Chain A
Amino acid sequence: MKSLLGLYLDPNDAANAMDGLKEGGFEVGTFDVLTGTPYPEGAFGEHVPQHRLFRFPAFGAIIGFSLSLFLTTATQLAYPLITGGKPILSIFAMLIIMYEMTMLSAVIFSVIGIIFESRLPNIAPGVYDPRITEGYIGVVISVEDSDLNKAKKILEKSGSEEIKEA
Protein backbone atom coordinates (compact mmCIF):
# COMPACT_ATOMS: atom_id res chain seq x y z
CA MET A 1 0.00 0.00 0.00
CA LYS A 2 1.40 3.41 -0.99
CA SER A 3 0.29 6.97 -0.40
CA LEU A 4 0.38 9.65 -3.07
CA LEU A 5 -0.03 13.36 -2.56
CA GLY A 6 -0.71 15.73 -5.43
CA LEU A 7 -0.22 19.42 -4.66
CA TYR A 8 -2.35 22.05 -6.37
CA LEU A 9 -2.36 25.81 -6.32
CA ASP A 10 -5.71 26.14 -8.03
CA PRO A 11 -8.66 24.67 -6.08
CA ASN A 12 -10.41 23.87 -9.39
CA ASP A 13 -7.53 21.59 -10.37
CA ALA A 14 -7.80 19.80 -7.02
CA ALA A 15 -11.54 19.34 -7.59
CA ASN A 16 -10.78 17.94 -11.07
CA ALA A 17 -8.30 15.51 -9.52
CA MET A 18 -10.95 14.31 -7.08
CA ASP A 19 -13.38 13.81 -9.98
CA GLY A 20 -10.68 12.01 -11.95
CA LEU A 21 -9.96 9.60 -9.10
CA LYS A 22 -13.67 8.89 -8.73
CA GLU A 23 -14.04 8.27 -12.46
CA GLY A 24 -10.87 6.19 -12.42
CA GLY A 25 -12.61 3.64 -10.22
CA PHE A 26 -10.85 4.39 -6.94
CA GLU A 27 -12.98 3.59 -3.97
CA VAL A 28 -14.54 6.56 -2.14
CA GLY A 29 -12.79 6.90 1.19
CA THR A 30 -9.35 5.93 -0.14
CA PHE A 31 -8.69 9.49 -1.31
CA ASP A 32 -9.18 12.80 0.42
CA VAL A 33 -8.34 16.47 0.15
CA LEU A 34 -5.98 18.27 2.56
CA THR A 35 -6.33 22.03 3.00
CA GLY A 36 -5.04 24.72 5.30
CA THR A 37 -8.44 26.40 5.29
CA PRO A 38 -11.85 24.91 5.94
CA TYR A 39 -13.47 25.10 2.51
CA PRO A 40 -17.24 24.69 2.43
CA GLU A 41 -18.16 21.02 2.75
CA GLY A 42 -18.24 19.26 -0.59
CA ALA A 43 -16.33 22.06 -2.37
CA PHE A 44 -13.97 19.52 -3.96
CA GLY A 45 -16.59 16.85 -4.40
CA GLU A 46 -14.94 15.00 -1.54
CA HIS A 47 -16.67 12.36 0.52
CA VAL A 48 -17.90 14.00 3.72
CA PRO A 49 -17.73 11.31 6.37
CA GLN A 50 -20.56 10.94 8.85
CA HIS A 51 -19.25 11.55 12.33
CA ARG A 52 -20.85 10.64 15.61
CA LEU A 53 -19.52 13.53 17.63
CA PHE A 54 -22.94 14.54 18.99
CA ARG A 55 -23.29 11.11 20.59
CA PHE A 56 -20.44 11.76 23.00
CA PRO A 57 -21.94 14.75 24.87
CA ALA A 58 -25.35 13.06 24.83
CA PHE A 59 -23.88 9.89 26.32
CA GLY A 60 -21.86 11.93 28.82
CA ALA A 61 -24.91 13.94 29.81
CA ILE A 62 -26.94 10.78 30.45
CA ILE A 63 -24.16 9.33 32.61
CA GLY A 64 -23.71 12.60 34.54
CA PHE A 65 -27.42 13.00 35.04
CA SER A 66 -27.85 9.40 36.24
CA LEU A 67 -24.90 9.69 38.63
CA SER A 68 -26.14 12.97 40.06
CA LEU A 69 -29.66 11.63 40.45
CA PHE A 70 -28.28 8.62 42.28
CA LEU A 71 -25.94 10.74 44.43
CA THR A 72 -28.56 13.27 45.50
CA THR A 73 -31.36 10.75 46.00
CA ALA A 74 -29.30 8.10 47.76
CA THR A 75 -27.65 10.51 50.20
CA GLN A 76 -30.95 12.07 51.20
CA LEU A 77 -32.71 8.73 51.55
CA ALA A 78 -29.78 7.34 53.54
CA TYR A 79 -30.33 10.05 56.18
CA PRO A 80 -34.08 10.71 56.04
CA LEU A 81 -34.31 13.83 58.20
CA ILE A 82 -37.73 15.42 57.91
CA THR A 83 -37.49 19.19 58.29
CA GLY A 84 -40.65 21.24 58.85
CA GLY A 85 -42.80 18.48 57.36
CA LYS A 86 -41.21 18.97 53.92
CA PRO A 87 -40.49 16.04 51.58
CA ILE A 88 -37.17 14.26 52.11
CA LEU A 89 -36.10 14.72 48.51
CA SER A 90 -35.35 18.42 48.04
CA ILE A 91 -35.90 18.63 44.28
CA PHE A 92 -34.77 22.23 43.74
CA ALA A 93 -31.45 21.79 45.52
CA MET A 94 -30.99 18.52 43.63
CA LEU A 95 -31.51 20.30 40.31
CA ILE A 96 -28.40 22.44 40.83
CA ILE A 97 -26.18 19.43 41.43
CA MET A 98 -27.83 17.50 38.61
CA TYR A 99 -27.26 20.36 36.16
CA GLU A 100 -23.63 20.73 37.19
CA MET A 101 -22.79 17.02 37.01
CA THR A 102 -24.65 16.61 33.71
CA MET A 103 -22.73 19.50 32.17
CA LEU A 104 -19.38 18.37 33.56
CA SER A 105 -19.81 14.84 32.28
CA ALA A 106 -21.02 16.08 28.89
CA VAL A 107 -17.95 18.33 28.60
CA ILE A 108 -15.50 15.58 29.54
CA PHE A 109 -17.08 13.12 27.09
CA SER A 110 -17.09 15.80 24.38
CA VAL A 111 -13.36 16.35 24.78
CA ILE A 112 -12.82 12.59 24.48
CA GLY A 113 -15.16 12.52 21.49
CA ILE A 114 -13.35 15.34 19.77
CA ILE A 115 -10.03 13.54 20.07
CA PHE A 116 -11.55 10.27 18.89
CA GLU A 117 -13.67 11.61 16.04
CA SER A 118 -10.97 13.94 14.71
CA ARG A 119 -8.73 10.87 14.34
CA LEU A 120 -6.31 12.54 16.73
CA PRO A 121 -3.57 11.87 17.61
CA ASN A 122 -2.76 11.01 14.02
CA ILE A 123 0.14 8.64 14.70
CA ALA A 124 0.85 7.79 11.05
CA PRO A 125 -0.19 10.91 9.13
CA GLY A 126 1.17 9.52 5.86
CA VAL A 127 2.33 11.73 3.06
CA TYR A 128 2.06 15.44 3.78
CA ASP A 129 3.55 18.76 2.69
CA PRO A 130 3.88 21.89 4.84
CA ARG A 131 2.98 24.04 1.82
CA ILE A 132 -0.63 23.04 2.48
CA THR A 133 -0.59 25.69 5.21
CA GLU A 134 0.51 28.22 2.55
CA GLY A 135 -2.55 27.83 0.39
CA TYR A 136 -1.66 24.69 -1.57
CA ILE A 137 -4.31 22.01 -1.75
CA GLY A 138 -3.31 18.40 -1.39
CA VAL A 139 -5.11 15.44 -2.87
CA VAL A 140 -4.01 12.34 -1.04
CA ILE A 141 -4.76 8.75 -2.05
CA SER A 142 -3.83 5.37 -0.63
CA VAL A 143 -3.39 2.81 -3.42
CA GLU A 144 -2.15 -0.69 -4.00
CA ASP A 145 1.23 -0.86 -5.80
CA SER A 146 -0.54 -2.10 -8.92
CA ASP A 147 -2.67 1.07 -9.17
CA LEU A 148 0.13 3.50 -8.36
CA ASN A 149 0.85 4.60 -11.93
CA LYS A 150 -2.84 4.98 -12.75
CA ALA A 151 -3.36 7.28 -9.76
CA LYS A 152 -0.22 9.25 -10.58
CA LYS A 153 -1.40 9.84 -14.11
CA ILE A 154 -4.75 11.15 -12.90
CA LEU A 155 -3.04 13.58 -10.50
CA GLU A 156 -0.62 14.75 -13.20
CA LYS A 157 -3.37 15.15 -15.76
CA SER A 158 -5.40 17.34 -13.45
CA GLY A 159 -2.50 19.79 -13.19
CA SER A 160 -0.67 18.97 -9.96
CA GLU A 161 2.40 21.08 -9.26
CA GLU A 162 4.16 18.19 -7.59
CA ILE A 163 3.46 14.59 -6.63
CA LYS A 164 4.89 13.12 -3.46
CA GLU A 165 5.01 9.44 -2.66
CA ALA A 166 5.39 7.61 0.64
Chain B
Amino acid sequence: MDSKPSAERPQRPPAPVKIVIAGGFGVGKTTAVASISEISPLTTEAAITSVGAEIDRVGEVPAKTTTTVAMDFGCITIDEEVKLYLFGTPGQDRFGFMWGDLVRGALGALVIVDTRRMDDCYPAVDYFEKAGLPFVVGVNMFGGELAHEPDDIRWALAIADEVPLIMFDAREKLSVRDALLAVLRNTFAKARAAAS
Protein backbone atom coordinates (compact mmCIF):
# COMPACT_ATOMS: atom_id res chain seq x y z
CA MET B 1 0.00 0.00 0.00
CA ASP B 2 2.54 2.55 -1.05
CA SER B 3 0.16 4.39 -3.32
CA LYS B 4 -0.05 7.32 -0.95
CA PRO B 5 3.40 8.39 0.06
CA SER B 6 3.32 10.51 3.16
CA ALA B 7 6.80 11.80 3.65
CA GLU B 8 6.40 13.38 7.06
CA ARG B 9 4.54 10.59 8.73
CA PRO B 10 6.54 8.97 11.51
CA GLN B 11 6.82 5.21 11.64
CA ARG B 12 4.82 5.08 14.82
CA PRO B 13 3.35 7.48 17.33
CA PRO B 14 5.50 8.79 20.19
CA ALA B 15 5.31 7.16 23.60
CA PRO B 16 3.05 9.21 25.86
CA VAL B 17 3.89 9.92 29.48
CA LYS B 18 2.04 12.19 31.88
CA ILE B 19 2.33 14.22 35.03
CA VAL B 20 -0.75 15.14 37.02
CA ILE B 21 -1.12 18.70 38.27
CA ALA B 22 -3.55 18.94 41.14
CA GLY B 23 -4.74 21.43 43.70
CA GLY B 24 -7.73 23.49 44.69
CA PHE B 25 -9.79 25.76 42.53
CA GLY B 26 -7.95 28.84 41.25
CA VAL B 27 -4.62 27.73 42.65
CA GLY B 28 -2.76 28.07 39.36
CA LYS B 29 -3.07 24.66 37.68
CA THR B 30 -4.11 26.00 34.31
CA THR B 31 -1.61 28.84 34.58
CA ALA B 32 1.19 26.35 35.22
CA VAL B 33 0.14 24.19 32.26
CA ALA B 34 -0.14 27.26 30.02
CA SER B 35 3.32 28.53 31.03
CA ILE B 36 5.13 25.50 29.69
CA SER B 37 2.81 23.72 27.25
CA GLU B 38 3.56 23.79 23.52
CA ILE B 39 -0.13 24.03 22.79
CA SER B 40 -2.59 26.40 24.42
CA PRO B 41 -4.16 24.43 27.22
CA LEU B 42 -7.12 22.45 25.97
CA THR B 43 -10.18 21.68 27.97
CA THR B 44 -12.18 18.53 27.87
CA GLU B 45 -15.09 17.21 29.80
CA ALA B 46 -14.46 14.21 31.94
CA ALA B 47 -16.34 12.27 34.53
CA ILE B 48 -15.22 11.89 38.10
CA THR B 49 -16.81 9.63 40.61
CA SER B 50 -17.70 11.21 43.90
CA VAL B 51 -18.20 9.21 47.01
CA GLY B 52 -20.22 11.74 48.90
CA ALA B 53 -21.67 9.74 51.72
CA GLU B 54 -18.59 7.86 52.79
CA ILE B 55 -17.78 9.90 55.83
CA ASP B 56 -21.16 11.24 56.82
CA ARG B 57 -22.88 7.90 56.97
CA VAL B 58 -20.51 5.36 58.30
CA GLY B 59 -21.69 1.82 57.84
CA GLU B 60 -23.81 2.41 54.80
CA VAL B 61 -22.78 1.74 51.27
CA PRO B 62 -21.51 5.05 49.99
CA ALA B 63 -23.61 6.60 47.28
CA LYS B 64 -21.47 7.14 44.23
CA THR B 65 -22.33 9.92 41.89
CA THR B 66 -20.64 10.80 38.67
CA THR B 67 -19.96 14.45 38.05
CA THR B 68 -18.78 15.98 34.83
CA VAL B 69 -15.90 18.36 35.25
CA ALA B 70 -13.64 20.31 32.96
CA MET B 71 -10.04 19.19 32.79
CA ASP B 72 -7.25 21.30 31.32
CA PHE B 73 -4.19 19.82 29.74
CA GLY B 74 -1.16 20.61 27.67
CA CYS B 75 1.88 18.83 26.29
CA ILE B 76 5.64 19.07 25.85
CA THR B 77 7.68 17.23 23.24
CA ILE B 78 10.52 15.54 25.10
CA ASP B 79 12.22 14.12 22.02
CA GLU B 80 11.16 12.50 18.76
CA GLU B 81 9.88 9.46 20.56
CA VAL B 82 8.42 10.78 23.81
CA LYS B 83 5.65 13.26 24.51
CA LEU B 84 4.86 14.52 28.00
CA TYR B 85 1.27 15.43 28.88
CA LEU B 86 0.31 17.64 31.78
CA PHE B 87 -3.17 17.12 33.13
CA GLY B 88 -4.62 19.71 35.44
CA THR B 89 -7.14 17.93 37.59
CA PRO B 90 -10.21 19.36 39.14
CA GLY B 91 -9.46 18.56 42.74
CA GLN B 92 -11.39 21.19 44.63
CA ASP B 93 -14.19 18.90 45.67
CA ARG B 94 -13.49 17.37 49.05
CA PHE B 95 -14.71 13.97 48.02
CA GLY B 96 -14.40 14.26 44.31
CA PHE B 97 -10.83 13.27 43.87
CA MET B 98 -11.44 9.69 42.98
CA TRP B 99 -9.98 9.60 39.59
CA GLY B 100 -7.98 6.44 39.19
CA ASP B 101 -7.99 6.85 35.46
CA LEU B 102 -5.93 9.95 35.59
CA VAL B 103 -3.43 8.69 38.08
CA ARG B 104 -2.90 5.29 36.50
CA GLY B 105 0.33 5.36 34.54
CA ALA B 106 1.37 8.85 35.69
CA LEU B 107 5.05 9.59 36.32
CA GLY B 108 4.13 11.62 39.34
CA ALA B 109 2.10 14.56 40.52
CA LEU B 110 2.56 18.18 41.43
CA VAL B 111 0.16 19.37 44.09
CA ILE B 112 -0.10 23.14 43.88
CA VAL B 113 -0.77 24.99 47.11
CA ASP B 114 -1.95 28.52 47.69
CA THR B 115 -0.88 29.39 51.25
CA ARG B 116 -3.98 31.51 51.70
CA ARG B 117 -6.16 28.45 51.23
CA MET B 118 -4.09 25.50 52.25
CA ASP B 119 -7.07 23.27 53.00
CA ASP B 120 -7.87 23.10 49.32
CA CYS B 121 -5.00 20.78 48.58
CA TYR B 122 -5.81 18.17 51.25
CA PRO B 123 -7.90 15.96 48.96
CA ALA B 124 -5.11 15.73 46.42
CA VAL B 125 -2.40 15.04 49.00
CA ASP B 126 -4.59 12.43 50.59
CA TYR B 127 -5.44 10.82 47.31
CA PHE B 128 -1.88 10.55 46.01
CA GLU B 129 -0.71 9.14 49.34
CA LYS B 130 -3.35 6.44 49.14
CA ALA B 131 -2.77 5.78 45.46
CA GLY B 132 0.98 5.47 46.03
CA LEU B 133 1.76 8.00 43.33
CA PRO B 134 4.96 9.96 44.09
CA PHE B 135 4.14 13.65 44.43
CA VAL B 136 5.75 16.96 45.20
CA VAL B 137 4.02 19.89 46.89
CA GLY B 138 4.59 23.12 45.02
CA VAL B 139 3.74 26.37 46.75
CA ASN B 140 2.65 28.86 44.12
CA MET B 141 4.25 32.11 45.17
CA PHE B 142 2.08 34.44 43.12
CA GLY B 143 4.84 36.96 42.57
CA GLY B 144 7.27 36.34 45.35
CA GLU B 145 5.09 36.77 48.41
CA LEU B 146 5.37 33.97 50.86
CA ALA B 147 3.28 34.37 53.94
CA HIS B 148 4.67 31.31 55.70
CA GLU B 149 7.97 29.54 56.20
CA PRO B 150 8.33 26.24 54.32
CA ASP B 151 8.47 24.33 57.59
CA ASP B 152 5.23 25.93 58.73
CA ILE B 153 3.57 24.98 55.47
CA ARG B 154 4.82 21.42 55.79
CA TRP B 155 3.47 21.27 59.29
CA ALA B 156 0.13 22.81 58.31
CA LEU B 157 -0.30 20.34 55.48
CA ALA B 158 0.85 17.42 57.63
CA ILE B 159 2.95 16.05 54.80
CA ALA B 160 5.68 13.54 55.49
CA ASP B 161 9.31 14.65 55.54
CA GLU B 162 10.10 12.63 52.44
CA VAL B 163 7.59 14.56 50.35
CA PRO B 164 9.52 17.36 48.65
CA LEU B 165 8.15 20.86 49.19
CA ILE B 166 9.17 23.48 46.66
CA MET B 167 8.37 27.10 45.95
CA PHE B 168 7.57 28.11 42.42
CA ASP B 169 5.75 30.63 40.28
CA ALA B 170 3.09 29.14 38.02
CA ARG B 171 3.41 32.09 35.62
CA GLU B 172 7.10 31.49 34.90
CA LYS B 173 7.98 28.86 32.34
CA LEU B 174 11.34 27.95 33.85
CA SER B 175 9.92 27.89 37.34
CA VAL B 176 7.24 25.43 36.19
CA ARG B 177 9.93 23.42 34.42
CA ASP B 178 11.88 23.20 37.67
CA ALA B 179 8.76 22.14 39.55
CA LEU B 180 8.20 19.34 37.01
CA LEU B 181 11.86 18.35 37.33
CA ALA B 182 11.38 18.12 41.10
CA VAL B 183 8.43 15.78 40.47
CA LEU B 184 10.49 13.58 38.15
CA ARG B 185 13.55 13.47 40.41
CA ASN B 186 11.34 12.48 43.32
CA THR B 187 9.79 9.68 41.27
CA PHE B 188 13.23 8.61 40.07
CA ALA B 189 14.60 8.44 43.62
CA LYS B 190 11.62 6.38 44.76
CA ALA B 191 11.84 4.02 41.79
CA ARG B 192 15.56 3.53 42.30
CA ALA B 193 15.11 2.89 46.01
CA ALA B 194 12.40 0.34 45.22
CA ALA B 195 14.57 -1.38 42.62
CA SER B 196 17.60 -1.81 44.86
Does B bind A?
no
Chain B residues within 8 Å of A, Cβ to Cβ? none
Chain A residues within 8 Å of B, Cβ to Cβ? none
